[in-house]
Amino acid sequence: MHDIKLIRDNPKVLDNGLERRNLPPQAAEVVKLDAERRAIQTQLQEMLARRNELSKQIGYMKRSGGDATELTEEVAKLKTLVPALEDEELVAAEKIDKLLSTLPNVPADDVPYGKDEKANLELRKVGEPRRMNSAKEHYDIGEKLKLMDFDNAAKMSGARFTILKGQLAQLERALGNFMLDVHTRDFGYTEISPPLMVRPEMMFGTGQFPKFSDDQFSTYAGYASIPTAVAKNWANDGDIRVAPPLWLIPTAEVPLTNIVYDSIVEAESLPYRFVARTPCFRAEAGAAGRDTRGMIRQHQFYKVELVSITTPEQSNAEHDRMTDAAETILKKLEIPFRTVLLCTGDIGFSAKKTYDIEAWLPGQNAYREISSCSNCGDFQARRMKARFRAKGDKNTQFLHTLNGSGVAVGRALIAVLENYQQDDGSVLIPSALKPYMGGLEKITL
């Protein structure tokens, strides 16, 4: 969420940021709605002050034996006008909040301008892609090993689901455990086992709602068709108790970041660093026709997520530290990768700056995203009302939040299969994973 006072005082900050994201200006509309709300608030304050003054005068008149009829009539009139004006103020506030909730974060000054991923800036490459005679894609490798089953998964759940069997299921578990160990032992992240379903306020706080609601899964499939009266009050519907829907998390970023929802933390306790391995659920509504084969883009997948909660002064250094933690996973797995700085046209809704880490996939002969590490500044904290207080300071400030994949487990599995594939169809186990695989050297048919 944006700082309304900042927009009011310097509207160009918002419009320049939106322009860099290739979006139209919105500051004038925000300022207009804000002025309307403030005018109503002023009028309401004047009415309340007048009512209080009249009440004092009525008391004085009654004590002195005077006639307070006219004053009493005016108070009665104000009592009917004030609630109507309070409703107007509420409507005006909802209008401006609705607009602000749909506006993305302003990119940091050092984020390169661009319309799409073609303008992303490559920062570094690590590792040399292995030369292969005829590299296969992960789904061909997995199906040939008879350890990856898309057909039965589709019978159970539809497209974009996968069944992993035997040693591939073990490899998926090994990758997750390995990542958690690296992040907790080497980088000091605190492991969290969070809820996998959250309330709508949590999704709003991290920026999934309202803009990306179509990409989410709800626990109540008929949410849109709930009777209005029931949806409004979540009251009893006959003998059936209708509860508000919970939402399946698209990433552990949602519950981890919302640990500080509507709270004030002490500055000396920061930074908070959390890590979790969870299943993630995404409708992929905007990905029709993309990566339809294999495990690249699934409705359900595992991911190890990193979240940092920090002060504004620490957030840039924390961003680099988080990116290094994610890169370390690929270095230890000896998978070639590159790190790119996303341009203004490619960064996510809540991010002010993002580094993408892309693993080399020989089967596709391309680098593909395996981690995205973002600094959101105070954007999410404002939506969550998450603040901190410096020692000895009575005032509070908004926290800075950061999140990143550390890394996507399914895509790491893909990267291992494709980079460690052998001509005979087997797959070698990376040295870093052998202790997690019971010493297994390779996966064979």
The total domain count for the chain is: 2
End position of a domain, from candidates 77, 101, 125: 101
Q: For residue range 198-225, list pLDDT tens digits in order.
A: 999 999 999 999 989 989 998 875 444 4
Q: What is the three-class DSSP state of 129?
A: coil
Residues 17-56 pLDDT 10s: 999 999 999 999 999 999 999 999 999 999 999 988 998 8
Residues 278 and 407 in one domain: yes
pLDDT of residue 311: 98
pLDDT score of 288: 62
Task: Note whether 168 and 287 are same-domain residues.
Answer: yes
Residues 62 and 97 in one domain: yes
Checking if the pLDDT of 317 tops 80, the result is: yes
Which has more pLDDT, 123 or 233?
123
Task: Decide if pLDDT at 232 tops 60.
Answer: no
67 and 130 both lie in a single domain: no
435: pLDDT strictly greater than 80: yes
Q: How many Å is the Cα radius of gyration of the chain?
A: 27
Q: What was the pLDDT predicted at 316?
A: 98
pTM value is 0.90
| Per-residue pLDDT, 81 | 92
- Residue 66 is predicted with a pLDDT of 83
Mean pLDDT of the chain: 93
- What's the number of CA atoms in the CB half-sphere (13 Å) around residue 383? 29
- For residues 202 and 265, membership in a common domain is answered with yes
For residue 70, what is the domain's CATH number?
Answer: 1.10.287.40
CATH number (domain holding residue 334): 3.30.930.10
Write out pLDDT tens, residues 84-105.
999 999 999 999 999 999 999 9
Stretch 242-261: mean pLDDT: 91
Is residue 281 domain-shared with residue 388, that is, in the same domain? yes
Strands (E), 165-262: 190-191, 197-198, 236-237, 240-241, 247-248
With a pLDDT cut of 70, the percent of the chain lying above it is 93
- Give the integer Cα–Cα distance in Å for 356 and 354: 6
Residue 111 lies in a domain: no
In which domain, by residue range, is 35 found?
Answer: 4-101
